[in-house]
Structure 1
Amino acid sequence: MHKTFLLLGAINIFFCIALGAFGAHGLKNILSNDMLSIFHTGLQYHIYHAQGLLFIGLLLLHYAKSRLIELSGWLMLLGIVLFSLTLYVMSLTELRILGMITPFGGASFMIAWIVLAVALWKAK
């Protein structure tokens, strides 16, 4: 499973870099400052948790049988989709109703880190 999270982390970091460039160069003159700020918030949390996925992959090299560490990684990926992706779409479409989904992504991120802490606390 470690390879899956390493791959997911690498792919997500690629998307972060591409989206960052798109935001800085392609959206700078198109979006309002408010929408650009929303886009960048999604990007900021995306990069943190893409790195988190890499971290999960590395941890699974050492704790290969930890279901909690795996769960933490899946929760991070879910958070990327529910938090960052909704912010990207909201900033591009100005559909502010998508903001109702975003807190579920934030909760997923927080739960992921707590689950990881518990997993490491319990690890042998």
Structure 2
Amino acid sequence: MAAGAVIVLGSVLAALAVGSGAFGAHGLEARFSERAMAIWQTAVQYQFVHALGLLLVAALWERLQPGWGLASVIAMALGVLLFSGSLYALALGAPRVLGAIAPIGGTLFIVGWATLAVAAAVGRA
């Protein structure tokens, strides 16, 4: 995976986060409870932060150990999918049992940042 692909991934996730936030604020606010809106906004916030995290990984790509850098990208991307995705679904009325997926995504976020630290500490061989 090249830095360019990570830039594309981070940029697309950031654009989707902005769109999801706007959709929530303007298209769903009248239909959602306060709790559902809070869940939706949490999903947007974490998606956006980790989209920026992916862009950070891309910016540092040439300084990172490739295997650990790729692990960081995969963990952050899967974290967005599982954490934010499950929260979006919950806000839209999915069964509450789906909420059990969010902590897995949150753990992947932590793994993503930790592997970024390792990738930077080890650096290019």
The 4+ residue runs of structure 1 with deviation greater than 6 A are none
| Alignment correspondent of 2:42 | 41
| Alignment correspondent of 2:28 | 27
The letter for the 1-side match of 2:91 is: S
Which SS does the other structure have where 2:54 is aligned? helix
CA deviation map 1:51-102 (0-9, x unaligned): 0111111111x23652101110110000000000110011011421110000
Unaligned runs of 5+ in 2: none
CA deviation map 1:18-54 (0-9, x unaligned): 1010011011110110111011111110000000111
CA contact (8 A) 1:90 1:96 kept: yes
Unaligned runs of 5+ in 1: none
| Alignment correspondent of 1:7 | 8
Tell me, in whole angstroms, the C-alpha distance in 2 between the residues paired with 1:64 and 1:96.
39
The letter for the 1-side match of 2:87 is: L
CA contact (8 A) 1:38 1:88 kept: yes
Answer with 34-43 or 91-100: which moved more.
91-100
Tell me, in whole angstroms, the C-alpha distance in 1 between the residues paired with 2:69 and 2:52.
15
Task: State how 1:90-105 maps to structure 2 within 5 Å.
Answer: 90-105=90-105
Give the fraction of aligned pairs with identical amino acids, expressed as a percent.
Answer: 36
TM-score by length of 1: 0.94
Task: State how many pairs are aligned.
Answer: 123
| Alignment correspondent of 1:54 | 55
How many angstroms does 1:13 deviate by? 0.9
CA contact (8 A) 1:72 1:115 kept: yes
Matched, 1:71 2:82: no
The letter for the 1-side match of 2:37 is: L
